[in-house]
Amino acid sequence: MASTTKTSRASVPRKRMPQPRADSEQTRERILDSAEKLFAWHGYHGTSIRDIATDADFQFALVGYHFGSKLDLMDRVLGRRSEVLNAERLAFLEQARVHSKGFPIPVRILMEGYVGAIMARPSRNETGWRNYTQLVGSAVASAEWTELTDRHFNAVAREYLGELQRTLPNVPSEALYQAFSFAVGAMITACARPKRIETLSQGKFKSRDLATMYETLCVFLEGGFKAVASRGPKPD
């Protein structure tokens, strides 16, 4: 006869993980983290609000309560970390202006400021920033997100472009804007770690070595701007 003192497994209460308040900042951050990850991994159109709610372990309605539509959520995901990047890039630029004492700022310094702000965090294996740079890379490459990326990044980018024009006054504006666009593309590709370096080198070199990539990228971009500056005028 089975013992009547043995506790049934079904009678043992389940231990629930503590949940943040529905209206708390912690809740909003968890939703943003999940949206950022899923948008980066599966794309905006491959991710539903329900997917985000499930990943964040919240009720479906809570996402809309805090952020409205999925488009509004995408806007906030891009804006959350761009605010950090923009502040750091502007602070770096102001410091460079002080040190230059009114003289043009060297191209290398300008590239270190613009590129370094975003490459520093993925190099420290910060998962959120790796997801973010992957998401930004796809957003910048898509005409669908031009309005959002313009809103979050262009004002500070124009500050750097203004300094580049002072440093390279003989470069036509069109060529300078093209070169800057190439620089942004190279930066985003490096941060997103597409593993192209691994496949090209057959595993000999790693794209996760962002410290080395940062140094090489700054040298590469400096050389590119200087090469554009060294070109003579177009023939008639």
Give the per-residue pLDDT at 234.
63
Q: How far apart are CA 129 and CA 139, in angstroms?
A: 15
Give the per-residue pLDDT at 9.
39
- Residue spans of the chain under pLDDT 50: 1-18
What the chain holds in terms of domains, given with CATH numbers, is 23-68 (1.10.10.60), 79-230 (1.10.357.10)
Indicate the pTM of the whole model: 0.82
Give the per-residue pLDDT at 5.
44
Positive or negative torsion for Cα 37, 39, 42, 47: positive
